[in-house]
Structure 1
Amino acid sequence: MNILLIGEFSRLHNSLKEGLLALGHKVTIVGTGDGFKDYPVDIYIKNVFFKHRFLFFIAKLIHRITGISLIKIENSYRYYKLLPKLKNYDIVQLINENSLKTNPRVEIWLLKKIINQNKKIFLLSCGADYSSVSFANKKHLKYSILSPLETNKKLRKKYRPILRYLKPSFKKLHHFLFENINGVIATDLDYHLPLLNHPKYLGLIPNPINTDKINFIENTVSKKIKIFHGINLANYEKKGNLFFDEALAIIKEKYPDEVDIIITNSIPYKTYINLYNNCNVLLDQIYSYDQGYNALEAMCKGKVVFTGAEEEWLEFYKVQPNTIAINTIPDAKEIANKLEWLILNPDKVNEISKNARAFIEKEHHYKKIAQKYIDTWNRN
């Protein structure tokens, strides 16, 4: 099949592409590379305003004063110019509900053309979208990505990129997509739960991880246990980094000679993955029920990852708590206690490391996942 994957912001589509290519399909990814993360794409939506610091500042200033986003206008224009190339595909898959990164009215207009000139259209529920944000907003979960906002209303400005999905324009985009797609696929439990029983929901297909490209690194603790905390400053509150920072402060004070802590801020993806290669433990995120892409790739390398591994996840995959990933809740003392457990039981690091790799190979192997996508696309 000839497949077009639109958008990329976690390397999901790149890993899926690798699996699809291995199965003999033709695949093209189109997207912006997602800013500083700079993920590889085949057709690059080059954004001048984002790449040049001065122009980016001017664009932000204009947006703040007028509400007009020059970056979104540029994205719209570049996708419009690309339309003649984005046709005659057997499958088109959108990374999420705002995959073209423009305003909803223009997105609908562009998507109509893409839908009309291709055979099948599928949507991923991956990252914030109307379904997951509205589900969280109704407090169906004990905690969610909106939890920090519930306790600190001053964060509302930082939450605008997420809360925009509740606006009438994005709700209209959501309904347009669900009326025109062949189906929607969740990539993990955080997006699976809000979509349960929806007629367009095709089920959960776990994130694909290229286990052939990611080598397992024997995870043994030498003199000190090395803890890596990679922060994306734009998502500091949403990922629960405050609790990680507080937990690390507790550990550093209690075990100054037993730990080596590495903290980074908003670095490119390639730099990020190279920096954590030598760590024993990786701190990923708080407000999730399942693992995102960073966590899964780290688990594949054999890292002990503090991330989402809630009861729903344990039940879905039929695994025991704290044997594959360390479930992390918004409680600094609880996080510190789990870090202390590893410090006092370093043999557990190697044990969990091997379990994590085995789990990725069983549940997230990129070729197996690619075949699940093919089967789902063909059935619908």
Structure 2
Amino acid sequence: MLNVLKTYQRYKMKILLIGEYSRLHNSLKEGLEKLGHQVTIIGFGDHFKQFPVDIQFHLKYQAGVSRFIKRIVYKTLKIDLVSRDIEKQFDVIKKQLTQFDVVQLINENAFNTVPKTEKKLLDYIFKHNKNVFLMSCGTDYTSVNFALNKGFEYSIFTPYFEGKVSKKSNYYALKFTSDAYKDLHKYIFKNIQGVIASDMDYHLPLNDNPKYLGMVPNPINTDILEYSPIKIENKIVIFHGVNSSKFYVKGNDLFDEALKTIQAKYADKVDIITVTNLPYTDYIEAFNKAHIVLDQVYAYDQGFNALEAMAKGKVVFTGAEQEWLDFYNLAENTVAINALPDVKTIVEKLEWLIENPHYIEDISKNARAFIEKEHNYILMAEKYLSIWTQHSKN
């Protein structure tokens, strides 16, 4: 197997990455290209975040009269115009999506269509490519059911359990519990070579799944994320980036409450920056001056925004649970701050940093070192290549 792996690593592979969340596939592509492979990304660019893709799908019927028409047509005829339009876009370019050495789906709903259409598009992918892999990234059947069954102490469904989020507004996640999405899940797992988790929030639900091939930490391109050593000279800058569609799911309401207390108590020591729904490039620019970044609450591990902030030397409030500490053999509050779903605790941790600014400088250095060691995009690309190679058909 080792000789086969070395052969595959020398061989210039043709790789198709379907879908994009939070720049994951872009960073993976950059690592794979550094290793000499040919990579194509198709997808939507993750909506308002506007990540680059090689083949662009466009989401129509998202606002105004067209959105109203879409809803009426679905309600009366049960026809999803968005899915129908994406299928038409797919048909135009589908001949470009064949004979890849490896295909990877970002998620169980990578084409963002209803299950019937999703299966139709995936059927073409499966028939024309031998080795298709799935990422567990974003909500999917396995992680959603694990969370709903209280497999986590807290999760993205905690606001739903607490009545902060309605069933309707949480549809994007709850849809995976429906019979149609369960059937899609089974269809995908029947046809893939295996599934790879992107972090602990997806690793834990998959642990006993026979199709599970292991976790590969999110790849971060440290070459394009400049590290700036933190020196506290004047006020401490706290940055809070909000995705309005996931305001409660990310715990932004808890951060808001905590910041009110901090602003009232430490107005002479802190500057607070809050931004909403910024495209990726603007978001990165906005938090450059920050010392502390408030990312998300209901997670056990870090997502992409947190990891990229850590790469730039920010002290990030995010998922950093004991399972994550154990996995990487870390001590608490040395690399990232675990943002628990409790305003009082968030305030206390912010106060600790404000009153002991030397810890901010220490954590900043540790965060960058951690990303370089555990999330380097080239090292992670090599891990993907290893898994793909070991589990591919000849």
TM-score range, shorter chain: over 0.9
Which residue does the alignment assign to 1:350? 361
1:27, CA displacement in angstroms?
0.2
- Quick one: distance in 2 between partners of 1:65 and 1:297? 45
Q: Is the 8 A contact 2:155 2:299 kept in 1?
A: yes
Q: Is the 8 A contact 1:240 1:286 kept in 2?
A: yes
Name which of 301, 305, 311 aligns with 1:290: 301
1:26 matched to 2:38? The reply is yes
Greater alpha carbon shift after TM alignment, 77-86 vs 117-126? 77-86
1:353, CA displacement in angstroms?
0.4
Which residue does the alignment assign to 1:372? 383
Q: Can you list the C-alpha shifts for 1:303-343, whole angstroms capped at 9, x where unaligned?
A: 00000000000000000001000001100110010000010
1:266, CA displacement in angstroms?
1.0
Q: Can you list the C-alpha shifts for 1:8-42, whole angstroms capped at 9, x where unaligned?
A: 02100000000000000000000011211111000
1:320 matched to 2:307? The reply is no
1:197, CA displacement in angstroms?
1.6
Which residue does the alignment assign to 1:300? 311
- Quick one: distance in 2 between partners of 1:68 and 1:253? 52
1:49, CA displacement in angstroms?
3.2
Which residue does the alignment assign to 1:90? 101
Which residue does the alignment assign to 1:73? 84
Greater alpha carbon shift after TM alignment, 61-70 vs 280-289? 61-70
1:72, CA displacement in angstroms?
2.3
1:244 matched to 2:255? The reply is yes
- Quick one: distance in 2 between partners of 1:68 and 1:284? 37
Decide whether aligned partners of structure 1 residues 254 and 66 sit closer, same or farther in structure 2, where only a CA change above 3 A counts: farther
Greater alpha carbon shift after TM alignment, 217-226 vs 319-328? 217-226
1:359, CA displacement in angstroms?
0.1
Which residue does the alignment assign to 1:220? 231
Which residue does the alignment assign to 1:47? 59
Q: Can you list the C-alpha shifts for 1:86-133, whole angstroms capped at 9, x where unaligned?
A: 001000000000001111011111111111101200000000000000
1:61, CA displacement in angstroms?
6.0
Q: CA RMSD in A?
A: 1.4
Q: Is the 8 A contact 2:159 2:165 kept in 1?
A: no
Q: Which amino acid aligns with 1:286?
A: V
Q: Is the 8 A contact 2:42 2:56 kept in 1?
A: yes
Q: Which amino acid aligns with 2:125?
A: I
Greater alpha carbon shift after TM alignment, 58-67 vs 125-134? 58-67
- Quick one: distance in 1 between partners of 2:248 and 2:73? 26
Give aligned pairs, total. Answer: 379
1:56, CA displacement in angstroms?
4.3
1:69, CA displacement in angstroms?
3.3
Q: Is the 8 A contact 1:16 1:208 kept in 2?
A: yes
Q: Which amino acid aligns with 2:202?
A: Y
Q: Unaligned stretches of 5+ in structure 2? A: 1-12
- Could you state the TM-score of these two structures normalised by the residue count of structure 2? 0.93
Structure 2 counterpart SS, 1:257: coil
Decide whether aligned partners of structure 1 residues 333 and 181 sit closer, same or farther in structure 2, where only a CA change above 3 A counts: same
Q: Unaligned stretches of 5+ in structure 1? A: none
Which residue does the alignment assign to 1:5? 17
Structure 2 counterpart SS, 1:127: coil
Q: Which amino acid aligns with 1:34?
A: D
Name which of 167, 171, 196 aligns with 1:156: 167
1:186, CA displacement in angstroms?
0.1
- Quick one: distance in 2 between partners of 1:267 and 1:63? 31
Q: Can you list the C-alpha shifts for 1:241-287, whole angstroms capped at 9, x where unaligned?
A: 11101100111111111110000111111111110000000000000
Q: Which amino acid aligns with 2:161?
A: E
Q: Which amino acid aligns with 2:134?
A: L
Name which of 176, 180, 189 aligns with 1:178: 189
Which residue does the alignment assign to 2:290? 279
- Quick one: distance in 2 between partners of 1:193 and 1:64? 38
Decide whether aligned partners of structure 1 residues 256 and 58 sit closer, same or farther in structure 2, where only a CA change above 3 A counts: farther
Q: Which amino acid aligns with 2:278?
A: I
Structure 1 counterpart SS, 2:368: helix
Which residue does the alignment assign to 2:10? none
- Could you state the TM-score of these two structures normalised by the residue count of structure 1? 0.97
Name which of 13, 37, 58 aligns with 2:49: 37
